[in-house]
Amino acid sequence: MDIAQDLIRKAEGRQALFGIVGLGYVGLPLACELAGAGYRVLGFDVNEKVVDGLNAGHSHVKDVSDVQLQSALQAGRFSATADMSRLGEPDAVSICVPTPLSKFKDPDVSFIVAATESVKRTLRRGQMIILESTTYPGTTREILLPALESTGLTVGEDFFLAFSPERVDPGNPTYGTRNTPKVVGGITEDCRRVAVALYQPAIDTLVPVSTTEAAELVKLLENTFRSVNIGLVNEMAIVCDKLGVDVWEVIDAASTKPFGFMKFLPGPGLGGHCIPIDPHYLAWKMRGLNYKTRFIDLAGELNTEMPLFWVRKVSEALNQQGKAVRGAGVLVLGVAYKRDIDDLRESPALDIIRLLEGQGARVSYFDPHVPCFAEDGHEFRSVTLSPETVSKADCVMIVTDHSAVDYRMIKRHAKLVVDTRNAMPKEA
Ligand SMILES: NC(=O)c1ccc[n+]([C@@H]2O[C@H](COP(=O)([O-])OP(=O)(O)OC[C@H]3O[C@@H](n4cnc5c(N)ncnc54)[C@H](O)[C@@H]3O)[C@@H](O)[C@H]2O)c1
């Protein structure tokens, strides 16, 4: 039997069973999109709470609504399990587990290794395995391939292996899993062909590339491109501050050029699970090959200095009003790492709060999407945003420009505003 043809036929008829390992920000939207395309999807996660919540119809990921999840559950197209011994059931398995950094900013691929071990235990002839987690070039071939082939099965003959980077942009109202083109690279030509066929019903545009390494590098180029360009505009913000020029006016005017310029915005620093982390995966890989990636390192340096730059602006602004940071009440608006989402991971707001508290400020925060959080053993709870809370603060610091905030009200009532996002309304 030609197992490639068999899987392609199953994809065309939506008879393939999809397994998704890791049901987080990436895995759950992918699972729902595949279910929406007509596949049956079995989700795997080591976190029993996540599994129970999903089976009860509660989505913990903002981009997937309870209604969307419940309709997949009721149609019998989605269920979740923590029982990894069932990984032999799916025809295709997409791995969407975290890839954080270690304390020393080296790649931590332990989740990929653990997920691969689970997949390996039940690997059978005719399965397609696709890694989605962002990682350094070579991971699929150097970590997954030898582990999976240690079962005695051969890639391209008995099973298929590919890398296809997830490009989800949480909170993006225009681009979701389906209409964001998806890059796919296989270990063999058949691996790529089968992966493309399996994703075709759920993704509008697939972009095949020649190797898994090329696909791995595509994702790192995309995020390094963002990190470097954000680093550049952050440096421009510092330059403009020294020159007394409005950086946002300069960027707005520069972006009227219809070619050769792409708009990036400065801010309080990088956040999220991707841009602050992914370039380090590439830098680490290149260090092993005796090459120092200078753009990556410089952008990382500039971007991580931004919380300090903005805390200094708070200190200078308070000083102008005859106040010290020590003892001042600072109300931080927005702690999620970007607008209209609830994700705190790597958020620069956490650094800003730590720095302000380190200087003796009394920090409170408001975030419509983050009612509470704990950091360094300290519990924080969002205050209510009202004219009273705003006027009571010595300084209101806009860190994340959520659209639900009434910035005119802030303008009317705040004694002082430090705006890291250009969210405040301009004078008429
Ligand atoms: N969040 C984003 O915006 C985004 C965008 C593009 C790519 N990515 C990449 O996608 C990958 C996943 O990120 P995420 O944001 O979805 O992570 P996440 O933390 O939201 O979800 C990961 C899930 O995997 C589960 N998990 C961990 N180890 C497991 C194992 N061995 N077996 C089964 N389940 C396991 C966790 O319990 C968790 O529920 C990362 O490599 C990330 O860099 C993330």
pLDDT at 1 over 80: no
**What are the beta bridge partners of residue 396?**
331, 417
State the Cα–Cα distance between residues 251 and 265, nearest whole angstrom: 8
By alpha-carbon position, which residue is closest to atom 24 of ligand 1? Answer: 22
Confidence band (pLDDT; 50, 70, 90) for 31?
A: very high
Q: With contact defined as beta carbons under 8 Å apart, do 397 and 314 qualify?
A: yes
Q: What is the pLDDT of residues 228-274, one digit of tens each?
A: 999 999 999 999 999 999 999 999 999 999 999 999 999 999 988 88
Atom of ligand 1 minimally distant from the CA of 22: 24
Query: In the predicted model, what is the mean pLDDT of residues 54-82?
Result: 96
3-state helix, strand, coil in the chain (%, to 5): 40, 15, 45
From 136, 273, 339, 345, the mutation candidate for ligand 1 (largest count of ligand atoms within 8 A of CB) is 273
Q: Could you tell me which of 153, 165, 151 has the C-alpha nearest to residue 195?
A: 165
Judge if the beta carbon of residue 25 lies within 6 A of ligand 1: yes
How does DSSP classify residue 86? G
Residue 114 Cβ contacting ligand 1 at under 6 Å: yes
Could you give the dihedral angle defined by the CA atoms of residues 308, 309, 311 and 317, in that order, rounded to the nearest 10 degrees? Answer: 160
pLDDT of residue 169: 87
- Quick one: what percent of the chain has pLDDT higher than 90? 92
Q: What is the pLDDT of residues 102-127, one digit of tens each?
A: 888 899 999 999 999 999 999 999 99
Query: Does 427 have pLDDT greater than 80?
Result: no
More confident residue, 426 or 305: 305
Distance (angstroms) between ligand 1 centre and the Cα of 145 equals 20
Give me the mean pLDDT over the 199-219 stretch.
Answer: 98
DSSP 328: -
Work out the angle between the directed axes of helices 189-199 and 3-12 (0-180°, nearest 10).
10
pLDDT in tens, 124-165: 999 999 999 999 999 999 999 999 999 999 999 999 999 999
3-state secondary structure of 411: helix
Mean pLDDT, range 309-332, rounded to an integer? 98
Whether residue 30 has pLDDT greater than 80:
yes
Q: Which of 97, 131, 140 to mutate to test the pocket of ligand 1 (most atoms within 8 A of CB)?
A: 97
For position 428, what pLDDT does the model report?
A: 59
SS3 193: helix
Between 62 and 390, where is the model more confident? 390
Residue partners of 268: CB distance under 8 A and separation at least 6? 306, 307, 310, 348, 349, 352, 399, 420, 421
* pLDDT of 195 strictly over 90: yes
Q: From CA 114, how far away is CA 122, in angstroms rounded? A: 13
**Res 275 pLDDT > 80:** yes
pLDDT of residue 153: 98
Average pLDDT over the chain, rounded to an integer: 96
Confidence of residue 377 (pLDDT cuts 50, 70, 90): confident
Q: How far is CA 396 from CA 306, 357, 415, 417, in A?
A: 18, 15, 8, 5
Residue 177: CA atoms inside 13 Å, Cβ hemisphere, count?
A: 22
Share of the chain above pLDDT 70, in %: 100
